[in-house]
Amino acid sequence: MAKNQESSKKSESPQKYDKKFLTGLLVDMLNIRRFEEKAAQMYGLKKIGGFCHLYNGQEAVAVGSVAALDLKRDYILTSYRDHGHALAVGMSADSVMAELFGKITGCSRGKGGSMHMFDAERHMLGGNGIVGAQIPIATGVAFASKYKGTDGVTLCYFGDGAIHQGAFHESLNLAAVWKLPAIYIVENNNFGMGTAVRRVSSVDDFSVKAAGYDIPGKVVNGMDVLSLYEDLKEVIADARKNSRPWLLDVKTYRYKGHSMSDPAKYRTKEELEKYKEQDPILLLKARMLKDKQITEDEFKKLDDEAKKIAQASVDFAEKSEEPALETMYEDIYA
């Protein structure tokens, strides 16, 4: 039977990586953080409406895992909490912000909004609003990769709440029996909306659920982008080489409410502050400072640049056109 692994490593000294690579991870996380802050501000100004689920705090998960992929042949699918994944695969802040504004220049032509970021070319297959729905779909994408013999793997992200859907269990069994290169990533941020994990789950460690399907499972630190990257490198290589699925319980935390309308009264300030001490951006920055791979000044420059990109995306979205009324009849049939 496949044995579960505990993410043992403290990620090794960043010196093992060149400055360019580390700076890339840092920039990607900063861009997401500043983008989400801008999105929250625009929501407050009613430029964005509906459900808007922010990724603050979870940046390391999308950034570290996508960095370990080869998006020429690999794919990702995620839930409605998808702005971070969209930016991590290289979708422009402009196209994501314009989508949030419902403009025709948005990645989904203003049809999808916050929950439905898609970029077929970059192998980002959405943004799904139905909890758990992306899990069987991702399983099918992995099936297609195997069928076509591309050696591609599929990363499927979902929340700790989604794991209780039947779709999760049916998918893992299918992927195990058919030996599909799908990597199931629970972004375990402790809460499904207002419900703490332990109130609705019989186990704390989701990786044990892998045992029921005889596939490998692993607990992964989701706040440390480097150790997550290293874990994912190994897992992806294994899934690619042996064509088999994995289940990863990635421990992370969301700083904001479930969506913009959630005051998050179900948790304490202290809990939030405790998690912020291991903020993924600050963690990486601290290591790079210690290893003299960045200076405070350089960091500030990167951060200012991220803020500029976020502001520019708002300017772009503002001046973009609304979709014409006739477009409502488009994009329905091929």
Partner 1 sequence: MAEIAIRDALRQALEEEMNRDETVFLMGEEVGEYNGAYKVSRGLLDTFGPKRVLDTPIAELGFTGLGVGAAIAGLRPVVEWMTFNFALLALDQVINNAAKMRHMSGGQLKCPIVFRGPNGPAEFLSSQHSQAFQSFLVHVPGLKVVAPATAYDAKGLLKSAIRDDNPVVMLESEMAYGWTGEVPDEEYLVPIGKADIKREGSDVTLIVHSKPLKMALEAADELAKQDIHAEVLDLRSLRPLDEEAIYESVRKTHRCVVIDESWPMASVGSHVAWLVSKNCFDELDAQVELVASEDVPMPYNHRLELAVQPSVEKIIKAVKTVLYIK
Ligand X SMILES: Cc1ncc(C[n+]2csc(CCOP(=O)(O)OP(=O)(O)O)c2C)c(N)n1
Interface residues with Mg ion (CB under 5 A)?
159-160, 189, 192
Contact flag: residue 161 with ligand X (CB under 6 A) = yes
Q: Provide the 10 A C-beta neighbour count for residue 100.
A: 27
Contact flag: residue 131 with ligand X (CB under 6 A) = yes
Binding letters toward partner 1, positions 266-305, x by CB under 8 A: x---------------------------------------
Decide: 154 and 77 in contact? Cβ < 8 Å: yes
Residue 307 contact among Mg ion, ligand X, partner 1, none, beta carbon within 5 to 8 Å by kind: none
What tokens appear for 34 in the block?
């500043």
Binding letters toward ligand X, positions 50-79, x by CB under 6 A: -----------------------------x
**Which residue in the set 59, 82, 94, 160 belongs to the binding site for ligand X (CB under 6 A)?**
160
Contact flag: residue 193 with ligand X (CB under 6 A) = yes
Determine the size of the site formed for partner 1 (CB under 8 A): 40
Residue 49 contact among partner 1, Mg ion, ligand X, none, beta carbon within 5 to 8 Å by kind: partner 1
What tokens appear for 74 in the block?
């690999």
Q: Which is nearer to partner 1, 167 or 284 (CB)?
A: 167
Contact flag: residue 209 with ligand X (CB under 6 A) = no
Contacts of residue 209, defined as CB under 8 A and 6 or more positions apart, other chains included, come to 163, 172, 203, 217, 247
Interior angle at CA 101, CA 98 and CA 103, nearest 5 = 60
User: 287-294, long-range: CB within 8 Å, 24+ apart, which pairs?
Assistant: 287/13, 287/14, 287/226, 288/14, 288/19, 288/22, 288/23, 288/26, 291/13, 291/14, 291/15, 293/14, 293/15, 293/19, 293/22, 293/23, 294/19, 294/22, 294/23, 294/26
Binding residues for partner 1 restricted to 164-183, rule: CB under 8 A: 164-167
**Which residue in the set 85, 111, 258, 285 belongs to the binding site for ligand X (CB under 6 A)?**
258
CB of 110 to partner 1, least distance (A): 4
DSSP state of 62: H
Contact flag: residue 136 with ligand X (CB under 6 A) = no
Contact flag: residue 119 with ligand X (CB under 6 A) = no
CB of 116 to Mg ion, least distance (A): 19
Contact flag: residue 135 with ligand X (CB under 6 A) = no
Cα–Cα nearest to 154, from 126, 113, 116, 182: 182
What tokens appear for 39 in the block?
């999105």
Task: Map tokens 């999808």 to a residue.
Answer: 112
CB of 101 to Mg ion, least distance (A): 26
Task: Map tokens 């314009």 to a residue.
Answer: 98
DSSP string, 117-137: --BTTTTB----SSTTTHHHH
CB of 128 to ligand X, least distance (A): 9
Binding letters toward partner 1, positions 102-141, x by CB under 8 A: xx----x-xxxx-xx-----------xxxxx---------
Q: Which is nearer to Mg ion, 4 or 201 (CB)?
A: 201
Q: Provide the 10 A C-beta neighbour count for residue 200.
A: 12
**Which residue in the set 75, 101, 184, 191 belongs to the binding site for ligand X (CB under 6 A)?**
191
What tokens appear for 127 in the block?
């943004």
Task: Give contact residues for ligand X (rule: CB under 6 A).
Answer: 79, 81, 129-131, 158-162, 187, 189, 191-193, 258
